[in-house]
Amino acid sequence: MHPASSIIVFTVLSGLGYGLAAFLGLGLLDPSAFATKVAYISALVLIAGGLLSSTLHLGNPRRAWRAFSQWRSSWLSREGVLSVLVFVPLAMSAWLCAMEGRYSAPIGIAGSLLSLATVFCTSMIYASLKSVQAWHTRLTSACYLLFSLAGGALLGSAFGVAGSGSASPLSFFALVLLISAWTVKIAWLRHLDSLKPLSTPESATGLGAVGRVRLFERPHVTENYLTSEMGFRVARKHAAKLRKFALLLGGLLPGALVFLVLAALLAGAEAGGAAILALMAASLSHIIGMLAERWLFFAEARHAVMNYYGG
């Protein structure tokens, strides 16, 4: 599948924003701290930026409001509805924190639940497509949710340390979630690598009873919407390198940084600029790793229609 940058940026940024919002909603950060106020604003900015980017790939963005209507059947519509609904508790929580330095558990928890539900809907847009076998597994949703939470905990722990001047429980969550997310992601990759194609040129043409089927000629000599949208192929050697790159920047490096900060703070070190900087660097590294992970999520997935195009 073609890795469209608007969709990659959208899923990474909004995923991170929702993850951060989910942790903020639990009230683990001191609402009177300045850093917590910044955290709330950052979550909203990340989510809004992601959503804006997602409209960039629409053919008719002016009609985007219509996408709220089919929540009964469409995961994309559900995602659209929730992504707007979630703004109500998130904006309220942000207001309470920024203006009054307060935290309200019911509003916060509603925001956390809706944030995770939105990420789940995003993941189901992909996981529900039978035509893209790599995505059509429950592991897809697990990956999206865990990566969103891991990123959120990571960024949240930077704000937490900055706000409280001491170790934040979020650093611990970040470590656990990074490990879980990558464990599931590696299972997802194993699943992808071991896939036996559900559909083949034989089943696509119904000619399997006659013999082995091979594309002889494409319908047109030039590319078309289908081949550019679904015919994207990434060379195996590049994919292997990028997988390592994603794991390194999206998992190992931020994990190591959080671990070091956590160990230092627990050993009694002062939670100064270095700790905050390290956690910020960990978050940034995680974002870059996630961009690579998401790029591969699309680039490595094969669409069933390629059985008709010899791909």
Where along the sequence are the contacts to other proteins (CB under 8 A)?
1, 57-61, 63-64, 66-70, 72-77, 80, 125, 128-132, 198-199, 201, 203-207, 209-220, 222-226, 229-230, 303-305, 307-309
Query: Closest approach of Cβ 78 to other proteins, in Å?
Result: 8
Residue 113, number of CB atoms within 10 A of its CB: 14
Nearer to other proteins, 183 or 205 (CB): 205
Taking the complex as a whole, the smallest distance from the CB of residue 75 to other proteins amounts, in Å, to 7
Which two tokens mark 275? 């700790």
Residue 14 C-beta: closest distance to other proteins, Å: 16
Taking the least distance from each CB to other proteins, the nearer of 185 and 302 is: 302
CB nearer to other proteins: pick between 140 and 285: 140
Looking at the Cβ atoms of 68 and 259, the one nearer to other proteins is 68
Q: Which is closer to other proteins, CB of 172 or CB of 309?
A: 309
Of 12, 30, 5, 40, residue with least CA distance to 111: 40
CB of 113 to other proteins, least distance (A): 22
Least CB distance to other proteins at residue 262 (A): 41
Q: Please answer whether residues 288 and 250 qualify as being in contact, where contact means their C-beta atoms are separated by less than 8 angstroms.
A: yes
Nearer CB in complex with other proteins: 164/203: 203
DSSP state of 267: T
> How far apart, in whole angstroms, are the C-alpha atoms of residue 54 and residue 76?
11
Q: How far is the CB of 261 from other proteins (least distance, A)?
A: 41
Closest approach of Cβ 73 to other proteins, in Å?
A: 5
Question: Which pair of tokens denotes residue 62?
Answer: 């002016």
Q: Are 148 and 43 in contact (CB under 8 A)?
A: no
Dist CA 183 CA 166 (whole Å)? 29
Q: Do 115 and 25 contact (CB within 8 A), yes or no?
A: yes
Closest approach, Cβ 83 to other proteins, in A, equals 12
Q: By the 8 A CB rule, do 89 and 114 touch? A: yes
Q: Hey, is 132 helix, strand or coil?
A: strand
Counting beta carbons within 10 angstroms of the beta carbon of residue 276, is it exposed (0 to 12), middle (13 to 18) or buried (19 or more)?
buried
Nearer to other proteins, 196 or 237 (CB): 196
Q: 129 or 279, CB closer to other proteins? A: 129
User: Rounded distance, CA 296 to CA 1, Å?
Assistant: 9
Cβ–Cβ < 8 Å for 181, 147: yes
